[in-house]
Amino acid sequence: MSTPLVTDNLAPELAEPVLALAEAARAADGVPPLSEHTLLRIRHGAPAGSSRFHVLSEDGLTVGFAFVERVESEPDSGEVVVDPAHRGRGHGSALLRSVRADAGPDGVRVWAHGRTPGAVSVAEAEGWVPARELHKMRMPLRDLGPEVPGGPWTAPGIPEPALRPEVAEKVRIRPFVVGQDEQAWLEANARAFADHPEQGSLTLDDLLQREVEDWFDPRGFFVAVTNSGSIAAYHWTKTHADGAGLSDSETVGEVYVVGVDPAWQGTGLGRALTLAGLAHLRDAGLPWVHLYVDGDNEAAVRLYESLGFSMWDTDVMFAPSGDRD
């Protein structure tokens, strides 16, 4: 079996085969094996020292790939994908061993998106154990009727995103303005996700890369701006033209990320901004909206359930058994 090529700079001639491999896996498994963040790193490159790419080739073909993001004082966070036509040959195991051997001082963890049986089987065979869960929740935005598998699906009413009077005096909710709000948003995002470096460490380049993606629409990116001009909270929505596993023919929405500055937590801004985004996606005529929430964030799960979301699927992050803690 070939040994993976490990590099911190993915050569341009390797990017297209890796993207094609990921698309083949998505079509076969019904779930994307690589996150948007990873896809952007493949397309645009990564800041020096931030990432590692593991590429497995066989007979001149790219048959497996792993990506690992490194964050200071945290375990590396990775993803692994094997071409469906080349599975069952030990490629997944080879990639897991490669990312573990190349891991930083705090170890490594790897996502199994959709908790597919093949991915779970490979992880368990290598002695990796679940370390974190990320729930996927969904909600209909219109009455989908019994013809949709699992139905009937009836859309709940979405309340108006009203602010408390004492909060409304200090902030106003409006759409994000490209070319104006980037720095204020980066500062708010870093404060809101200080304990979650995967999100909180996003840079201006990361934001600008997302702004040029086909799905980006500032009209669905809501910010709560204070009287001093800072951003107290935000809700960034996203659309998926491929249906994201919820629809075979229609674009669906996503609660992409909701962030609240710690100084503004408990003011109702998170709920109000969530409702503003949901109303925007509903008014766009989308049939579904989904979101991701950490399995141990019980308060967030309860909030989303109160809005009409229900559990749909779960991504599982695996770690080598000795690194779990």
Is residue 152 domain-shared with residue 291, that is, in the same domain? yes
Is residue 54 domain-shared with residue 167, that is, in the same domain? no
Q: Which CATH number does the domain housing residue 94 bear?
A: 3.40.630.30
Quick check: is 193 in a domain? yes
pLDDT recorded at residue 1: 62
Residue 136 CA to residue 98 CA, distance in Å, equals 29
Binding residues for acetyl-CoA: 80-82, 258-260, 265-271, 297-302
Q: How many independent structural domains does the chain possess?
A: 2
Is residue 255 domain-shared with residue 158, that is, in the same domain? yes
CB 173 within 8 A of CB 273: yes
Is residue 289 domain-shared with residue 151, that is, in the same domain? yes
Quick check: is 322 in a domain? no
For 219-233, letters b (16+ CB in 10 Å) and e give: ebbbbbbbeeebbbb
pLDDT recorded at residue 325: 47
Quick check: is 131 in a domain? no
Is residue 184 domain-shared with residue 292, that is, in the same domain? yes
Is residue 193 domain-shared with residue 287, that is, in the same domain? yes
Which tens digits make up the pLDDT trace of 276-306? Answer: 999 999 999 999 999 999 988 898 899 899 9
User: Where among 126, 156, 188 does a domain terminate?
Assistant: 126
Quick check: is 323 in a domain? no
Of 1-5, 52-56, 101-105, 162-166, give the lowest mean pLDDT range: 1-5
Binding residues: 36, 80-82, 198, 238, 254, 258-260, 265-271, 292, 297-302
Is residue 78 domain-shared with residue 208, that is, in the same domain? no
Is residue 150 domain-shared with residue 298, that is, in the same domain? yes
Quick check: is 292 in a domain? yes
Percent of the chain with pLDDT over 90: 83
For 30-60, letters b (16+ CB in 10 Å) and e give: ebbbbbebbbbbbeebbeeeebbbbbbbeee
296 contacts: CB under 8 Å, gap ≥ 6: 133
Confidence of residue 41 (pLDDT cuts 50, 70, 90): very high
pLDDT recorded at residue 323: 64
pLDDT at 2 over 90: no
Residue with tokens 């803690």: 325
Is residue 47 domain-shared with residue 78, that is, in the same domain? yes
pLDDT recorded at residue 147: 79
User: Where among 126, 160, 185 does a domain terminate?
Assistant: 126
Quick check: is 150 in a domain? yes
Quick check: is 90 in a domain? yes
Which range of residues forms the domain containing residue 60?
5-126
User: Where among 100, 126, 152 does a domain terminate?
Assistant: 126
The separation between CA 100 and the C-alpha centre of its own chain, rounded to angstroms, equals 23
pLDDT recorded at residue 149: 79
Is residue 308 domain-shared with residue 162, that is, in the same domain? yes
Is residue 100 domain-shared with residue 189, that is, in the same domain? no
pLDDT at 36 over 80: yes
Quick check: is 275 in a domain? yes
Is residue 235 domain-shared with residue 120, that is, in the same domain? no
